[in-house]
Amino acid sequence: MAGYRKLSLLLLLIVPLLSACGPDDAEGCGAIPLGLDGTWFGALEDDQGSLFTLEWQVCGDRITRQRLSGQDFGVTGRLVHDGAGVYVVYLSDGSRSRLLTAPGLNHGLMVNDFFDFALIQRGAPIRPRYRFSDLDGSWTGRQARLLPASTQLQSAWAWCGSGFCSLSQADGGMAQVEFLEFNRDFGLYLGDYTDSWSNQGIAGALLSPDRQVLGTYTCAAGYQSPADCGFGLYWR
């Protein structure tokens, strides 16, 4: 009977605590607040050029749910702050990603080691139908090199019009991009580029659902991994 009373007392103490937990706590909400809580949604281009929607449910330093084109495959993850606006993402499927965030922490550029490339927005209700001209205008942001053990960042700027973009960065480097293909359902632009070091190769860009943030990549001919490419995150 003494054991039964101890168990009853323990249950009386635990049950109210469990009742106080919200749904995110039940799904493994992380203990470290990163200011990223909420549902993130946007477009993803995989390494084969196929297009999907990507949704992350973030709570604390945890991704409690990932959906790919609406399908939940049981993948969760952990976010580790790795510098100003930079996070390393470890997913339960064994993959690793880098997430770069724009000011306000409502937009993010995600690139994983397999070269899945995504631009996601917190609280985005739907994916709009884009126009080719949505790219046009002046942009300010950061250019990144995603090296295996570090992320190198510098200030960058872009001006785009009629499918052409001129990119410049703080170290004096420049690139001219011509976008020749456009997918209005996902806001994806594809083309090629030439930079001030005479590199040439492929270029891509994604617009956020609210059309206020732009993510880009440029990869020289013969690239083998994301470390061989440049990535940009720009905002209006």
80 and 156 part of one domain: no
- Average pLDDT of every residue of the chain: 90
Element housing 118 (H / E): strand 117-122
Give the CATH number, domain containing residue 211. Answer: 2.40.128.20
- What does the pLDDT average to over 23-51? 86
- The boundaries of the domain holding residue 154 are 132-235
35 and 62 part of one domain: yes
Indicate the residue among 122, 143, 158 that finishes a domain.
122
How many domains does the chain contain in total? Answer: 2
Task: Give the pTM.
Answer: 0.88
Give the CATH number, domain containing residue 63. Answer: 2.40.128
- pLDDT value of residue 127: 87
What amino acid is encoded at 25 in this protein?
D
- Measured in whole angstroms, the distance separating CA 58 from the mean position of its chain's CA atoms is 12
- Measured in whole angstroms, the distance separating CA 48 from the mean position of its chain's CA atoms is 18
Q: Name the more confident of 28 and 51.
A: 51
